[in-house]
Structure 1
Amino acid sequence: MTSPGDVVCWLCERPLGSKVQLHHIVPKAKKGRATVRVHPICHRTIHTHFTNAELARIDGERGPLREHEEIAKFLRWIAGKPPDFHAPTRSAQR
């Protein structure tokens, strides 16, 4: 049995705080059902840089997300922040 303090964010791997969101690793719109726990800021970052179609194509793999240039930059920046840290999420330049 895990305690809440043992649970980490699927994307950034920091401990989860009091605010947790569920991310469908394959979007619901693409028939995905499996979810993972993420910080709200990490969830927004994923959806800022990836469309539902792109997320469906990578089929729930975390590696391609973490290797994306902007997300990798975000992960370096967020690494030392507390679990409930919040900041506005920048829009992607598409």
Structure 2
Amino acid sequence: MSTCELCEREDVDTTVHHLLPKEMGGTFGATANLCIPCHKQIHALYTNEEIAVRLSAIPKLKDDPQLSRFLKWIRKQPATKIMKIKKSNERKRRR
């Protein structure tokens, strides 16, 4: 258990998020420890191309309008809560 670098909730299980997606050359690059909901939300909202071009740092992720709404909500949730994350309709249309 540790702290999520994105939502800053404590005592959560974290996963390793490659700030530059592995398929875009980030295999050995910078990573961040994110709780499972935050990690899933990033990949539900954005393509790897979008992440690589404009969201490859924690401050940029925190400042993104779509993700900041989620962060405001998730910070109020207990660390033990695991929720289902669905791809946004906008992301589905981009495929």
Q: Secondary structure at the match of 1:37?
A: strand
Number of aligned pairs?
A: 88
Unaligned runs of 5+ in 2: 91-95
The residue aligned with 1:23 is: 17
The residue aligned with 1:11 is: 6
- When the two structures are superposed, what TM-score results if normalisation uses the length of structure 2? 0.79
Supply the RMSD in Å over aligned alpha carbons.
1.7
Tell whether the 8 Å contact from 1:8 to 1:14 is kept in structure 2 after alignment: yes
- When the two structures are superposed, what TM-score results if normalisation uses the length of structure 1? 0.80
Shift of 1:59: 6.0
Unaligned runs of 5+ in 1: none
Partners of 2:82 and 2:18 in 1: how far apart?
21
The residue aligned with 1:72 is: 68
Tell me the percent identity.
30
Tell whether the 8 Å contact from 1:16 to 1:39 is kept in structure 2 after alignment: no
Instruction: Kindly indicate which of the two structures has a greater share of residues assigned to helix.
Output: 2
Tell whether the 8 Å contact from 2:3 to 2:14 is kept in structure 1 after alignment: no
